[in-house]
Amino acid sequence: MADSRQENAPTPPPGAHRQLAHDSVRLAVVIGALGVVFGDIGTSPIYTLQTVFNPSDPHPVPVSTQNVYGVVSLVFWSVMVIVTVTYVLLAMRADNDGEGGIMALITLVRRWSSQRGRRTAAVLAALGIFGASLFFGDSMITPAISVLSAVEGLKVVEPSLDDAVVPITAVIIVVLFLVQRRGTAAVGRVFGPVMIAWFTAIGACGAVGIADHPDILKALSPTYALGFLFGHFGTAFFALAAVVLAVTGAEALYADMGHFGRRSITRGWLFLVFPACVLSYLGQGALILDDPANISSPFFLLVPDWGRWPMILLATAATVIASQAVITGAYSVASQAAQLGYLPRLRIAHTSESTVGQIYVPWINWLLMVSVLTLVFAFRSSAALAFAFGMAVTGTITITTLLFFYVARAKWGTPKWLIGIGASVLLFVDLLFVAANMTKLVHGAWLPLLIGLTAFTVMTTWQRGRELVTAERAREEGPLPEFINGLRSGELPARRVPGTAVFLNRGKETAPLAMRANVEHNHVRHEQVVILSIETEPVPRVPADRRLAVDGLGYADDGIVHVTATYGYMETPDVPAALAMLDPAETEGPLRLDQASYFLSKIELRRGQAPTMAPWRKRLFIATSYITADAAEYFGLPRERTVIMGSHIEV
């Protein structure tokens, strides 16, 4: 009988195995997204309701049945409107070649607003840069508040461990930043399963709490949120400053879209993360209704006694993952900002051979570690940090919403009436949260604003200073055709020597400073000369067939050609690898790259008297230039065959 059943079993249709494999890969991507994308927003239930009802808050929300229903409803609908609608349904449709995040939106604004005037593009791009600057504040506060909130669970289990919370948190944070150099490729494989266990656990605990007090389900009705907001506006308005903690990490959904894809992130959010978080918030609300004393730590008190130690360990792992995600996000933002000209060239290490987006930026890593530790020792509790946290989040969300609707109109031609309705509703919600968090300015909300303004000032100063240096450098270099004609005519005497020389330059209009110095001081030029320019397009990655463009400049018979190597803002240039792709027919014979010499022009900046920038901005620009990564390492040049020739420019 068994054999008969096997013989008569239906044959899988053609392609069924391929479909099964495709589904398996898709499931793996969703699991990967769960481990990286949702760490921040997925750990918000630990501290959100606890912060709303915190009696030490400057504007505390009294614990009453009506207020509990109102707050839980407000949390639910805030997550629904900001995360599900603004980010998952809308913002994630605005991608730049698959990449998301506020830097991608800036690129889209630049691209699609060119026909509407440079002034509008400049204002919107500056606004976007400020939003990216606020993200750096978020990157500093998230690890501090997340790990602190998890370790604070120790006080619930054993109150005598109160004094150990800060030291334990500091140790975890130091270890977290020390292992960044190793990358997340190996650890990332366990992130997804850990977060699945986390969401399953908090959802189950929430369901148990709901079962004990099922009336809390009425909070899902928007009437409770609206009634609380407009019926008790004085209380609800101040509560919004803590309610916003429920949507922290929403930007990560958008920023990490290029790594996992919109579909995987959407599925992970709708089918696991969102339901689990909602169950946890409802369960905590039910627990507070049973006993108002539970506001001290509703998340951990919702867990049965026997499960609190495992939950503390799981929460600590989840918050470390949340911190990892936001730290990696800071690396990406800094890298993209450098590629777009808002920061100096930074040393970047790729930590995964299979995942391009996994990078390590040492300078950013150590800056974040010092900043996070400072916050932990200064604030000493997640409740105190919560006052500062919301400002960075609401600012970034509001700017993202504004830029999205501009792109929707400029790129897709969405009708103005529809833009007006959508933007009015969502910006009203966003600005309400911003206004509520402004009331916490003196209690810590000034911190992310200060961090954001500092980063914004550095980036805009670098952009302006870079423009000035570029203009001055062009004057010193002089026109390239004039320089080459001087070589041909003998006006610039130079002996032709065997070999290949590669001069890195900004373009083909001017002569490289290093080439000019080599001719004027050493009186030599090489048989084969490649003037190489690196260009960064406002797209994440450039296909290999568009990587190189060769221009003989009319001097190819003299062995001089210009090559443009184009990269996306998420790529790190590799000059030798790019030159190896050249067609020998375009360079008058194959380049001898194994023996080629690479020439770099090093610029020393000096503060001049010209009124180009305010004196303090000149000092800031010169100070920022000191973090510039070594050019030979950044461009992948062989150090033993790299020659650096210097000059100085006043700003």
Domain count across the chain: 2
- Comparing CA positions, the residue from 298, 49, 297, 304 lying closest to residue 201 is 304
What secondary structure, in 3-state letters, does 76-115 show?
Answer: HHHHHHHHHHHHHHHHHHCCECCECCHHHHHHHHHHHCHH
Residues 192 and 338 in one domain: yes
Where a domain ends, among 444, 460, 486? 444
Amino acid at 426: L
Residues 500 and 368 placed together within one structural domain of the fold: no
CA 571, 575, 581 angle in degrees (round to 5)? Answer: 100
| pLDDT given at position 561 | 85
In a domain, 105, yes or no: yes
Angle 163-169-174 from CA coordinates, rounded to 5°: 135
Does 544 lie in the same domain as 440? Answer: no
Lowest mean pLDDT among 24-38, 61-75, 370-384, 547-561: 24-38
Question: Is 462 contained in some domain?
Answer: no
Best CA proximity match to 68, nearest among 283, 383, 299, 390: 283
| Residue 265: partners with Cβ closer than 8 Å, 6 or more residues away | 33, 37, 88, 92, 253, 256, 257
Cβ-proximal residues to 636 (8 Å cutoff; 6+ apart), any chain: 572, 573, 574, 575, 576, 577
Residue type, 608: G
Q: What is the mean pLDDT of residues 388-397?
A: 85
pLDDT in tens, 491-513: 888 888 888 889 988 878 888 88
Distance CA 324, CA 570 (A): 19
**Is residue 397 included in any domain, yes or no?**
yes
How far is it, in rounded angstroms, from Cα 359 to Cα 651? Answer: 33
Average pLDDT over residues 285-290: 93
Q: How far apart are CA 624 and CA 627, in angstroms?
A: 6
How are the residues of the chain apportioned to helix, strand and coil, as percentages rounded to the nearest 5? 70, 10, 20
Task: Check whether residue 337 and residue 480 sit in a common domain.
Answer: no
- In DSSP notation, 615-639 reads HHHHHHHHHHHTTPPPHHHHTT--G
pLDDT at 21 over 70: no
- In this structure, the answer to whether residues 429 and 480 fall within a common structural domain is no
Report the C-alpha gap between 622 and 639 in whole angstroms: 25
Contacting residues for 565 by C-beta, under 8 A, at least 6 apart: 532, 533, 534, 535, 547, 548, 573, 575, 578
Strand 349-350 versus strand 359-360 pairing type: antiparallel
> pLDDT band for position 252 (50/70/90)?
confident
CATH number reported for the structural domain that contains residue 250 in this entry: 1.20.1740.10
Confidence of residue 214 (pLDDT cuts 50, 70, 90): very high
> What pLDDT does residue 556 have?
56
Q: Read off the pLDDT band of 298 (50, 70, 90).
A: very high
**Residues with Cβ within 8 Å of residue 554, at least 6 apart in sequence:** none
**Do 49 and 159 sit in the same domain of this protein?**
yes
Are residues 506 and 638 both part of a single domain? Answer: yes
180 Cβ partners below 8 Å, 6+ apart? 327, 360, 365
Same structural domain for residues 168 and 312? yes
Range of the domain at 334: 35-444
**Residue 311 to residues 115, 305, 421, Cα–Cα distance (Å):** 55, 10, 44
Q: Domain for residue 11, yes or no?
A: no
Residue 264 has pLDDT above 90, yes or no: no
pTM for this structure? 0.78
Same domain, 103 and 168: yes
Q: Give a yes or no: residue 311 inside a domain.
A: yes
Q: Measure the CA–CA gap between 314 and 308, rounded to whole angstroms.
A: 10
Query: In the numeric block, which tokens belong to residue 282?
Result: 């409802």
Instruction: Kindly state the helix (H) or strand (E) to which residue 149 belongs, with its residue range.
Output: helix 118-151
My answer on whether 295 and 211 are in the same domain is: yes
Do 440 and 479 lie in one domain? The reply is no
609 and 547 in a single domain? The answer is yes
Per-residue confidence at 118, pLDDT binned at 50, 70, 90? low
**Rounded-to-integer distance, Cα 409 and Cα 405, Å:** 6
Residue 25 counted as domain residue: no
For residue 1, being part of any structural domain is answered with no
pLDDT of residue 334: 85
Q: Which amino acid is at 39?
A: G
In a domain, 451, yes or no: no
Q: Tell me the pLDDT band of 102, cut-offs 50, 70 and 90.
A: confident
